[in-house]
Structure formats: C-alpha cells, structure tokens
Amino acid sequence: MMRVFNVLLLYILLCAMPWLSCAQSKRDTMLVCGHRGGFYNLLPENSLTAIRYTANNCMLQPAVVEVDVRKSKDGTLYILHDETVDRTTNGSGRIEELMDGYLNTLMLKTSSGLLADEHLPEFSEVLTYAKNNNVVLMLDVKDDIWKDVIDLVNKYSLAEKCIALTFSSAVTAKVYNLSHAISISFLAKDAAEWQTIEKLNIPDAKLMAYVTATTDLALVAKLKQRKVKILADASETMRNKSLLYNSDFYKAMVDRMNLDILITDFPVEVSRQLY
C-alpha cells in the first residue's frame, strides 16, 4: 500500500513541475513550422536553401515549412511574401505585373541585404523538393489564386502533405470546395467564428485551428476534443525584435494552448528546445 502511495505521490509531483514528464507528453507528437522557411541571416527567406536547412536540421519530424505563393503576369506561381520583388531580390516591380523572363533572372537577398547565389523559386520547385523529402508545406496563398495553387498541388499528388492557411470562412469554404484532401487551417478567433466554420461541414480531421493570444482556451479545449489540430505563431520577428525567446517561453506556449504545430521564425533552434 505504501509503495502505491509513493508512486502516486511521485506522479503528482512530476505533474506539478511544468517541464517534466506530464508536460513533456503534450509535446511528444507536436511539430514546428519554419515561417517563410525560416529566418536566418545568411539564408534568404522563402528560399529553397532555407527550406532545406530547416528540413535537414529540425529535430521534430516531419519538418513543416510555411511559404508564400504569388502569381506572375505569365501565370506562373512563385514563392514570394511581398507584393513586389524589391525587398527580397535584386529586382523591382509588382510580381503580378512582371513576366517570367525577367523574374527568372532575379537573385534573392538575405535579410541583411546581401545578394545570395539563389534565384527566386517557383512553387513547382518547392513541390518537387517536398515530394522527395520528409517535409510538410504550409501554404500562405496571396490573392485569389487558390485554384491555380490547388491544381499544381494535385499535379504533384501532394494534397496530403500540404496545409492551406485561410483567414476567413469564405476562403476556407473555397479551398474545401477545390480539394477535400488538403488540410485547412482557419482563424479560430472566437466561438462565433468556429460556429461559422462548423457549418461548412468540413471533416474535423481536415481542419486545423490557428489560435492567437486572445483565443478563449475553452474553445481550444473544445476543438482538441474534436481532434482538430491547433497551431499558433510565435512571431519572433514581429514581437521580439527578431530574437529567439528562451526555451521556457516556447514550452509554456505549447502547453498553454495545447499546440500541435508551433510556427516560428527559428524552427531549428526551437525544435532543439522542445525535443
């Protein structure tokens, strides 16, 4: 009897200590996602080099990488966050007004403005890499080009390895109508937003809830009961002067929000802290 009591006491003590066994079990199956592939001074954002670096060095597998997709004047899909190529390449102009012949001559720049030996990647190149490696793609699609994006994803038979980021119920519905295979992230602001999403009758297994610091934790718990995966963004560049937080910050964030995917500008370092 005393032995049983001691075991139970040890279990309770461990659960009360934030980063030991009980807390760790919540992180056993979670993943980290590299925002724009990962923010590293010597590697351009949204580049194949950044994606490879994250995929090859992430301690939590499969690696997840978030990329931004835009369309050129010729209708080709490229990986680019901004509306223009000015900040991240040695070119200038709005991508939707630029021809492929020009875009394919551009070289990427690092965050410090140094020119890298790497061209502006086409979405097809990223899909090819994902098809041949243990990588999940999180797609932030700019403008209303979802059909083009989904068609190319389907051409590579990669819907099961992609997550579509949507930030309105109308776009969530549009993506689901285009593909019943791709996972869809919706912005879980509050219970009212969830009720709108719920009416779309998308299977819970295909939904992911993008939560924020203001999302009610009761809603998070409800979604977890439904087996909806939870993701959130640490946003170090925007909120922490482009600096890595300490490990306690990430562990607390994962445990408080019961995260399945933590989006971070520093996926390799964060994966090591959570591993």
| 103, 85 Cβ separation under 8 angstroms | yes
pLDDT of the residue at 265 = 98
In this structure, what token pair is assigned to residue 19? 């980063």
pLDDT of the residue at 33 = 98
Mind listing the pLDDT tens digit for each residue in 61-117? 999 999 999 999 999 999 999 999 999 999 999 999 999 999 999 999 998 899 999
pLDDT of the residue at 111 = 87
Mind listing the pLDDT tens digit for each residue in 169-222? 999 999 999 999 999 999 999 999 999 999 999 999 999 999 999 999 999 999
Phi and psi, residue 122, nearest 5°? -80, 150
| 237, 265 Cβ separation under 8 angstroms | yes
pLDDT of the residue at 28 = 67
| 170, 148 Cβ separation under 8 angstroms | no
| 188, 216 Cβ separation under 8 angstroms | no
Domains and CATH numbers, the chain: 26-274 (3.20.20.190)
Please provide the average confidence, as pLDDT, over all residues in the chain: 91
Determine the Cα–Cα distance for residues 274 and 58; give it in Å rounded to an integer: 11
SS3 at position 189 = coil
- Cα angle 257, 259, 260 (rounded to 5 degrees) comes to 165
